Structure 1
Amino acid sequence: MTEIRGVGIGLGVAQGPIARMAEPLPAPTDTPSERGTEEETARVREAVAAVARELEQRGIQAGGAARDVLEAQAMMAEDPSLESEIDTRIGAGKTAEFAVHDAFASFRDMLTAMGGYLGERAADLDDVAQRVIARLRGVAAPGVPDPGHPFVLVAKDLAPADTALLDLDKVLGLITTEGGPTSHTAILAREKSIVAIVGAVGAKDLVDGQTVIVDAAAGVVTTDPSAEELERAANRAADRASAASAPLTPGALADGTAVPLLANLGKPEGAEEAVALGAEGVGLFRTEFLFLSSNQAPTVEQQRAAYTKLLAAFPGQKVVVRVLDAGADKPLAFLNDAHEENPALGLRGIRALQASEDILREQLTALAEADAATDADLWVMAPMVATVEEAEYFVEIARDYGIKTAGVMVEVPSSALLADRILAGSDFASIGTNDLTQYTLAADRLLGSVAGFQDPWHPAVLRLIREVGDAGRLHGKPVGICGEAAADPLLAVVLVGLGATSLSMAPTALADVRATLLQYSLDDARVIAEAALAANGAATAREAARSVATTQAAPAAVQS
């Protein structure tokens, strides 16, 4: 028996035989075409169109966040600029296969260099290229294996198209050797409640048929376990399934301290599922979906209809809406499409909105009108606030439109360090742990080569969160968490110990977090948080918190 460590997603545990993902198709060789330009062009058009339609169909089947990702991939496949690059290569006598491979690789390298949102799309380009080339060759695209029995899937990473349609009757668990807790694979696995461990480098040596236990709670893959270990894992899985079917209750600690558990949503259509899974409101509603698929800003009327639909689903409950978070890393022609060498540090978030204030004013108009038409408790926040002046600017302009509760997102170290001054004039703060971790550790959260740094357990990140929590207590202002960190059950306890007053996450993570919070008092949470803060790194902080948590509650409650 050996143990392989990675980052677990949720509290699940699974067991079964390994089945490895097929290796990528070999790259086409640069040999002259024997078909001619016209035939090669026709082949590419057919293949690209077929792949785009397949991705769209997979998106429709999958729904949720997966649908958004797959629709973006389909649009990417048929991008006119990419088509032009392929045509140029075919015109130079290349085969359709090589033209696709080379053009996609060129675009991938360009997006990788840009980083940010577009850097994330680079990995998706590889998947689309593989599917187009497979179509041209008349072979199946590399994908999830089918050994004829349930299995634990092992892969370098999973393309969104594969993650979205995993057969949960066959895929018992998922292990990837790359990726971090905020990767597409992790986010989609959490959304589908797949027992998963990502970033498990040692999993590259696992072989087909080898039996493993995937313990997401501990972030450990146990190879060749004993019969006794398999039985314990099976009992834990049964206990967890039983707990998940328990009646829904409001989020709270063992001493009765309320910790509202809210949902992160990207579209109004996700509201029904969130309510069914026990969301007590919305802690982050991303409005980008209205903007990113359009060449021009949506009208006030279009926005008002979407916001009204969302707010109507949560009568009497808090709904936190983030105004448009876009910029050079999510280029919008009507906002800012200027090239920037480092868009993650460029004109984005509130900076971009200040530069195009009409967009912000129209959004606030639509939100105020939707608020007036519904009974939800609307809170509105600005993204990427870095200075006191930016916070004051946003709160003032929000007040002009009748927004009763206006706050800021804390995603950069400067706003965390100045939280006492920012919260003096803002109604609340919401910490975006994904970006806060990225900027604190100087590690692009979408870049696989530095995924190991993208861990919100790092004491430097926890210290900044404590600064915001302290500022919230000083001014009596709420401090929420809306990054992926809130979905980690033990980290959720730490965050409450650092001063968070609410937690927002993917709806499927609510049950695990709710159950874990109920095992600790507020004093317990503060002690566990201090243990994590005293560590020197993310891994040691996690272990320190787990160790202290074991003494504060029953062992079954601390396997995160």
Structure 2
Amino acid sequence: MSTLRGVGIGQGIATGPVVRMAQALPEPVKQDSEAGADAERSRVREAVSAVAADLQQRADAAGGAAQEVLEAQAMIAEDPTLMDEIDARIDEGTTAEWAVFDAFAGFRATLEAVGGYLGERAADLEDIAQRVLAHLAGVAAPGVPDPGHPFVLVASDLAPADTALLKLDQVLALITSDGGPTSHTAILAREKGIVAVVGAADALSLTDGTTVVVDAATGTVNDSPTEDELAAVAERIAAREAEEAGPVTPGTLADGTPISLLANLGKPSDAADAVARGAEGVGLFRTEFLFLSSAQAPTIEQQRTAYAELLGAFEGKKVVVRLLDAGADKPLAFLNDAHEENPALGLRGLRALRASEDILREQLTALAEADAATSADLWVMAPMVTTVEETAYFTTLAREYGLRTAGVMVEVPASALLADRVLAHADFASIGTNDLTQYTMAADRLLGSVASFQDPWHPAVLRLVREVGAAGARTGKPVGICGEAAADPLLAVVLVGLGANSLSMAPAALADVRRSIGQHSLEDARRIAEAALDADDAAGAREAARTAAQK
């Protein structure tokens, strides 16, 4: 038996045949054509037509937003201006491969320079170029494969664009050689409930068709399972399905200590799935969906309608709404369109809202009106709060609008280290572990080259969480977790041991976290947390916690 090790996402297990994602094609070498211009033009047109037809076929099958994206790609592939650029290069005597590569690269650079919507289409051009080049070479196009049967997908990693057409009924599990617990692939796996092991260094050595067992609970991949092992896997899968089909209970530790299990939601229509999966409320409702698709801020009425829809789905339950978190990776022209060299450290979150206070006040007005019209227990919180003064500013303003419970996101070390003073003003604190990790480790969460630093298991991050948990205990104020860390079943136990009263996550992760915390008492959780804190790095903390949890 050969076992690969990585970081498991969730507690699930799956088995099936490997299908590897084709790698990006190498850049073609510029060289003269031996076949002649007419033959090269003919090759290009046949390849482009085939790619456009394939994209249109995929669009028809996909439906919805994906259909629009793919139809646009099909049109771009046959764009006359682009074809003229390719022909011009072929007329200079180059091969079809170089002409396609160079023409698409030039077109892409032009769009990137324009920026905005057209700039975002540059990535589409890269995908189309790769497909055309693959057709010219007679090989499979890079990207997510579609073998026509259930499979285990193996890749170096998945880009956001790769996941747009991922058929969740066909992908049994994901294995990546790169990435970590906060990579896009890991986030997708948690959101969709896909079994995954990421960062398995030798994953690309797996061959197509090999039957593997992917065990997220142990972070392992077995590439030569025995019949007995496959039978045991089938039993585990059946047991998990039976458990998930049973009645959903509130989150509690083994000693009866209640730990609220809440959902992270991005739009009101997500509420039904969260309720069905047993969410006890909402720990993070991201309001950006109302703003990101508009050239101007939504009206108070538009906001009120959306908030009322959300609150109506959780009558009598806690719903924590985060005010607009713009800036950094979510710039908005009507809020802050000034260029910033390092937007992650710039005018974002509450800073941006404070600079455009009319937008902040309109959002608070809409929330207060929606609250008055519904019976949910509305909590509001400000993003990217750094200082005690900012906390006092926001909570005073929120109460001015009649909002009863006002808190803050703890996402930077400054507010974590002054948590007791922050909580003297705020009614609660919610720790955003994604950004807290980013700012603690000085590692941009959007930058792949430092992805290895983006691990919430790092003891430095855990110590900051402990500071906030201790401050919550001293002040009698609730402390919740709403970052990706809460969806990690073992890390969830550690977070509870560090003082968290509630955990909020993608709805698909609720069952695993509920099961995990239910196996440990509060005393156990504190002991496991201490073991993690004593480690020197993230990997050591994860292993120490796993060992302590087994005692």
User: Given that residues 493 and 517 in structure 1 are in contact (C-alpha distance below 8 angstroms), is that contact kept between their aligned partners in structure 2?
Assistant: yes
Answer whether contact 2:51 2:131 (CA < 8 A) is retained: no
1:11-410 matched pairs, under 5 angstroms: 11-27=11-27, 60=63, 95=99, 97-104=101-108, 126=123, 129-131=126-128, 133-134=130-131, 141-147=141-147, 149-410=149-410
DSSP 3-state at the match of 2:385: coil
State whether residues 130 and 141 of structure 1, in contact with CA within 8 Å, keep that contact through their aligned partners in structure 2: no
Q: CA deviation at 1:93?
A: 5.5
Report if the CA contact (8 A) 1:382-1:394 is conserved. yes
Distance 2:352 2:230 in 1: 53
More displaced 10-residue stretch of structure 1: 167-176 or 405-414: 167-176
Equivalent in the alignment of 2:467: 467
Change (3 A) 1:87 1:149: closer
Q: Deviation of residue 135 (structure 1)?
A: 5.7
Q: Shift of residue 151 of structure 1?
A: 2.6
Residue equivalent to 1:500: 500
Aligned match of 2:445:
445
Which has more radius of gyration?
A: 2
* CA distance, structure 2, for counterparts of residue 539 and residue 230 of structure 1: 29
Q: Which amino acid aligns with 2:200?
A: A
CA distance in 2: counterparts of 1:105 and 1:232, whole angstroms = 53
Query: Are the structure 2 counterparts of residues 127 and 217 from structure 1 closer, same or farther at C-alpha, using a change threshold of 3 Å?
Result: farther
The answer to whether the Cα contact below 8 Å between 1:328 and 1:339 also exists between their aligned partners in 2 is no
Structure 1 CA distance, aligned partners of 2:125 and 2:183?
Answer: 18
Counterpart of 2:533 in structure 1 is 533
Kept in 1: contact 2:21–2:144 (CA 8 A): yes
Q: Is the 2:22–2:145 Cα contact (8 Å) retained in structure 1?
A: yes
Return 375-384 or 221-230, whichever deviates more.
221-230
Partner amino acid, structure 2, of 1:100: F
* SS across alignment from 2:186: helix
Residue 384 of structure 1: SS of its match in structure 2? strand
Query: Which whole-Å CA distance do the structure 2 matches of 1:88 and 1:323 have between them?
Result: 48
Measure, in 2, the Cα distance between the counterparts of 1:134 and 1:256: 56
Instruction: Kindly state the Cα deviation for residue 194 of structure 1 after the two structures are TM-superposed.
Output: 1.4
Which is worse superposed, 219-228 or 49-58? 49-58
Distance 1:170 1:54, change over 3 A: closer
After TM superposition, give the deviation of residue 164 of structure 1 in Å.
4.3
* 1:369-417 Cα distance to aligned partner (Å, 9 max, x none): 1111111111111111111111111111111111111110011111111
SS of match in other structure, 2:500: coil
Deviation per CA, 1:160-219: give whole Å up to 9, x if none: 454344344543211011222222222222222211111222112111233322111111
Shift of 1:138: 6.3
Cα displacement (A) at 1:254: 1.2
Give the letter aligned to residue 21 of structure 2: M
> Residues of 1 paired with 2:155 and 2:547: CA distance?
31
Instruction: Report deviation, 1:46.
Output: 9.9
Q: 1:301-339 deviations in whole A, cap 9, x for unaligned?
A: 111111111111110111111111012532211111111
Cα offset, 1:540, TM superposition: 1.1
- Give the superposition deviation at 1:429: 0.5
Aligned residues: 531
TM-score calculated relative to the size of structure 2? 0.86
**Pair 137,241 (structure 1): closer, same or farther in 2 beyond 3 Å:** closer
8 Å contact from structure 1 (residues 47, 132) kept in 2: no
Q: Distance in 2 between matches of 1:484 and 1:98?
A: 40
Contact 1:28 1:98 in 2 (8 A): no
Q: Following the alignment from structure 1 to structure 2, what is the Cα–Cα distance between the partners of residues 56 and 269? A: 24
Contact preservation (8 Å) 1:416, 1:464: yes
2:419 matched to which residue of 1?
Answer: 419
Shift of 1:86: 7.2
The residue type paired with residue 531 of structure 1 is A
Match of 1:557 in 2: none
Residues 130, 164 of structure 1: CA spacing in aligned structure 2 closer, same or farther, 3 A cutoff? closer
| 8 Å Cα contact 2:24-2:130 kept in structure 1 | no
Q: Structure 1 residue 75: deviation in Å? A: 12
Match of 1:484 in 2: 484
Residue 104 of structure 1 aligns with an amino acid whose one-letter code is R
Task: For 1:381 and 1:313, locate their aligned partners in 2 and report how far apart those are by CA, in whole Å.
Answer: 20
Q: Give TM-score, length-normalised by structure 1.
A: 0.85
Within 2, Cα distance between the matches of 1:183 and 1:148?
A: 27
Paired amino acid for 1:355: A
Cα deviation, 1:214-256, whole Å, max 9, x if unaligned, reads 1111111122233343333332222222221121111111111
The 1:362/1:52 distance shift into structure 2, 3 A limit, reads farther
Equivalent-residue separation in structure 2 for 1:544 and 1:365 (angstroms): 47
Which amino acid in 1 is paired with 2:182?
Answer: T
8 Å CA contact retained: 2:25, 2:134: no
Long gaps (5+) in structure 1:
62-66, 112-117, 552-560
| Farther off after superposition, 7-16 or 168-177 | 168-177
Contact persistence 1:9–1:217 (CA under 8 A): yes
3-state DSSP of counterpart to 1:358: helix
Distance 1:227 1:346, change over 3 A: same
Q: Percentage identity across aligned positions?
A: 66
Shift of 1:146: 4.5
Q: Which amino acid aligns with 1:359?
A: I
Q: CA 1:309–1:526 in 2, change beyond 3 Å: closer, same or farther?
A: same
